[in-house]
Amino acid sequence: MAPRLKLFVPLILFAVLALFLFRGLALDPREMPSALIDKPLPEFSLPSLGQDQLLSRSDVVGRVVLLNVWATWCVSCRVEHPYLHQLADRGIPIYGVNYKDDDADALRWLDQLGNPYVANIVDREGTLGLDLGVYGAPETYLVDAAGVIRYRHVGVVDDRVWRTILQPLYEELSAGVGGQ
């Protein structure tokens, strides 16, 4: 009997391989968990876009906020922009990190497309981006009231991403603040 069972070995190997490959189809290797999840938002002191003042960590921390890394050279950011307006209209505080961009270009962008941000942190050299582990734009961080990073989304935030991932987390964290 054993030799006959041996004939099934290639089939079993194939099945196992096919299972792994099939699983691989649904995985996006770019969706890496950030190394900063559950870590405090890094300290920074950077200019505010279009304003003559410096922004630091304490200006952002205090309530549950979205931190959106964007730039005018980033095509996906333009796709994402209208949805950020929708979120801002619903009262979600969004802080922008204008990542490795030109101030004049960024101001023109906000002038033309509207400004959904509470304020924009100018990260011209990408230093804050480096501390955040940003590797491209757009990226969106969910920061809780205590200033701890709870989630990082790489890529465009759209209705699906908001409703399935960010909104539940956002509401959970906001409710936690209200209850305290």
48 makes contact with another protein (CB under 8 A): no
Among 49, 121, 132, 157, binds another protein (CB under 8 A): 132
Cα gap 141→164, rounded to integer Å: 15
34 makes contact with another protein (CB under 8 A): yes
Among 4, 30, 90, 160, binds another protein (CB under 8 A): 30
Among 12, 15, 75, 130, binds another protein (CB under 8 A): 130
How many CB atoms sit inside 10 A of residue 130's CB? 12
Q: Least distance from C-beta 92 to another protein, angstroms?
A: 26
Phi and psi torsions of 96, nearest 5°: -100, 145
What type of residue is 59?
Answer: D
35 makes contact with another protein (CB under 8 A): yes
Q: Residues with Cβ < 8 Å from 57, sequence gap 6 or more?
A: 41, 42, 43, 44, 147
Cα gap 176→153, rounded to integer Å: 21
> Would you say 118 or 148 has its CB closer to another protein?
148
By the criterion CB under 8 A, which residues form the site for another protein? 29-30, 32-36, 100, 126, 130-136
